[in-house]
């Protein structure tokens, strides 16, 4: 929804989300992204850098927004991250997928599952059966309602960030949005 020029996150961050950082963190950064999107891959280390700089002041949440019509592997990649999440390893797979963005075919995905120590039989069964497809669609639906307008789209404390997502720009936006909650 919108209030004047602010576009607000629809679907509050909750237990269904994949989050890094404490729920009590004064800053929550939600990213809607696509593992096959080159811009998202460029944004990935920037988010990591923010996490290092802000420590427990920052909670990072990732939601799927695969552009399936232009990125052939994006849907399966998203489902494989969710399949890893079902085994408690979402973020390991998340990092791996962005690191190996140019190899996201099913064989590669199975290889990554093995590398990060997943039960590969279960992983492949869930991927083949699209067990996590509905979950990915739910993310896309909340993204649509939240005004996601490309990938990556970031929300800082529930407000869509409309500027660029280079480190300095995200830092400045976080400072602006949260000046009152992390003052001094």
Partner 1 sequence: MNSPSDALSPGTPAPNFSLRATPDQLVSLRDFQGRPIILAFYPADWSPVCGDQMSLYNEILEEFHRFDAELIGISVDGAWCHVAFSRDRHLHFPLLADFEPKGHVARLYGVYRPEEGTSARALFVIDEAGIIRWSYVSPVGVNPGADGIIRALEAMRTGVPHAH
Q: In this structure, are strands 58-64 and 159-160 parallel, antiparallel, or unpaired? A: unpaired
Using the rule CB under 8 A, is 73 a contact of partner 1? no
Name which of 128 and 134 has its Cβ closer to partner 1: 134
Closest CB 149 distance from partner 1, rounded Å: 4
Using the rule CB under 8 A, is 144 a contact of partner 1? yes
Q: What 3 state SS string does 172-183 have?
A: HHHHHHHCCCCC
Span interacting with partner 1, options 53-61, 105-113, 122-130, 146-154, rule CB under 8 A: 146-154
Using the rule CB under 8 A, is 44 a contact of partner 1? no
Using the rule CB under 8 A, is 38 a contact of partner 1? yes
| CA dist 117 → 7, 68, 121, 124, 151 (Å) | 39, 27, 11, 13, 29
Choosing from 23, 103, 128, 141, the residue that interacts with partner 1 (CB under 8 A) is 141
Angle in degrees, 0-180, between the axes of helices 38-54 and 90-99, rounded to the nearest 10: 130
Choosing from 6, 16, 39, 175, the residue that interacts with partner 1 (CB under 8 A) is 39
Q: Are 96 and 115 spatial neighbours (Cβ–Cβ below 8 Å)?
A: yes
For residue 119, what are the contacts with CB-CB under 8 A and spacing of at least 6?
87
Span interacting with partner 1, options 22-30, 88-96, 100-108, 137-145, rule CB under 8 A: 137-145
Using the rule CB under 8 A, is 7 a contact of partner 1? yes
Choosing from 29, 30, 34, 136, the residue that interacts with partner 1 (CB under 8 A) is 34
Could you give the CA distance from residue 25 to residue 72 in angstroms, rounded to a whole number? 36
Choosing from 6, 16, 145, 175, the residue that interacts with partner 1 (CB under 8 A) is 145
């Amino acid at each position: 929804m919108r209030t004047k020029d602010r576009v607000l996150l629809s679907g509050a961050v909750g237990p269904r989300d994949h989050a890094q950082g404490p729920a009590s963190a004064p800053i929550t950064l939600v990213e809607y992204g696509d593992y096959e999107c080159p811009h998202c891959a460029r944004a990935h280390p920037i988010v990591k850098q923010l996490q290092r700089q802000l420590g427990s002041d920052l909670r990072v949440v990732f939601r799927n927004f695969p552009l399936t019509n232009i990125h052939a592997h994006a849907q399966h990649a998203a489902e494989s991250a969710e399949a890893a999440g079902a085994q408690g390893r979402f973020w390991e797979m998340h990092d791996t997928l962005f690191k190996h963005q140019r190899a996201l075919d099913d064989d590669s995905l199975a290889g990554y599952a093995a590398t990060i120590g997943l039960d590969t039989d279960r992983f492949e069964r869930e991927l083949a059966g699209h067990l996590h497809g509905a979950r990915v669609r739910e993310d896309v639906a909340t993204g649509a309602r939240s005004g996601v307008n490309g990938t990556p789209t970031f929300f800082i404390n529930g407000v869509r960030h409309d500027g660029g997502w280079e480190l300095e720009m995200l830092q400045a936006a976080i400072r602006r949005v949260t000046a009152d909650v992390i003052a001094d």
